[in-house]
Amino acid sequence: MLIQLKKDFRKLAEPLHRSQEAGMDVFTEADWAPLPPPVRRYYVTAGFTGQPKMASMQAVFRNVPFILAPKKNVLRIDYTQVNSVRQPDRIALIDSRLYGIPFQGLDTYLDGRGSMRGVFGKIFTVLNEQGNALDQACLVTFLSETMLLPAAALQSYITWEPIDDLHAKASITFHGISACGIFSFDPDGTCRSFSTDDRIAVGMDGTRQQVRWSAQMGDYQLAAGIRQPKHLQAVWHYGSGDVVYFDGRDVQIEYR
């Protein structure tokens, strides 16, 4: 039987990323007031004030250099993700070819449970991970993307702690599991990175390592009046050296 991860993704994405009704609220200065200074500055200077409060976000990356594990060959993947706001649900689809044969991956975090699946040739399941450690990893991944999804940053499942003028700590808790990390900002208000120790690295053989992880943001550009990072990298900071395993450029973001 063929395993259609792309079809599964579409079925999950539809209810998460549906259009909102007319008359929705917009972000105001009062929304940012409780946030730490660098986070507040980021959203204000990015142009989110006066914009509609989104219920979800879809981000699409094309032809992304991607590494499945350290010292492995670089794949080229298309990557599509959907993040929800009401609760920290997130799904993502990897679509690629490995040795000329279709390879697909589906990451889901829904109702507090994470799952990571990889399928080769639409027949062979080569990765199928679940468990509390993965739930935490999914949560902290969602947290790292709140600079792209300000409505999520205002939800009760995320709390903020000021550190200084260029750093802030964020924590996320859902269904009894928590994770946290540090956002780092530049003086011009842009966010440079998010780093955490609450994310596991899962190998293709199922092995797990607790490795420092960061999301790097750059190449800020205006899109529909909002300043957005167009270059996003995901990095594992192994003891033997850093591995940039996801190097996405020209991300296309849609809010609903």
C-alpha span between 57 and 45 (Å, rounded): 20
Q: How many CB atoms sit inside 10 A of residue 107's CB?
A: 22
pTM above 0.85, yes or no: yes
State the pairing for strand pair 158-164/124-129: unpaired
**Pick from 190, 191, 184, 144: which is nearest to 164 by CA?**
184
- Tens of pLDDT along the chain (256 residues) come to 677 999 999 999 999 998 655 447 999 999 999 999 999 999 999 999 999 999 999 999 999 999 988 888 899 999 999 999 999 999 999 999 988 999 999 999 999 999 999 999 989 998 899 999 999 999 999 999 999 999 999 999 999 999 999 999 999 999 999 999 999 999 999 999 999 999 988 776 767 888 999 999 999 999 999 999 999 999 999 999 999 999 999 999 999 9
The CATH code that applies to domain 1-255 is: 2.50.20.10
- C-alpha distances out from residue 189 to 25, 40, 166, 248, Å: 25, 9, 9, 22
Domain ranges of the chain: 1-255
C-alpha 13: how far from its chain's center? 15
Q: How many CB atoms sit inside 10 A of residue 152's CB?
A: 25
Residue 1: predicted pLDDT: 65
Residue 20: predicted pLDDT: 59
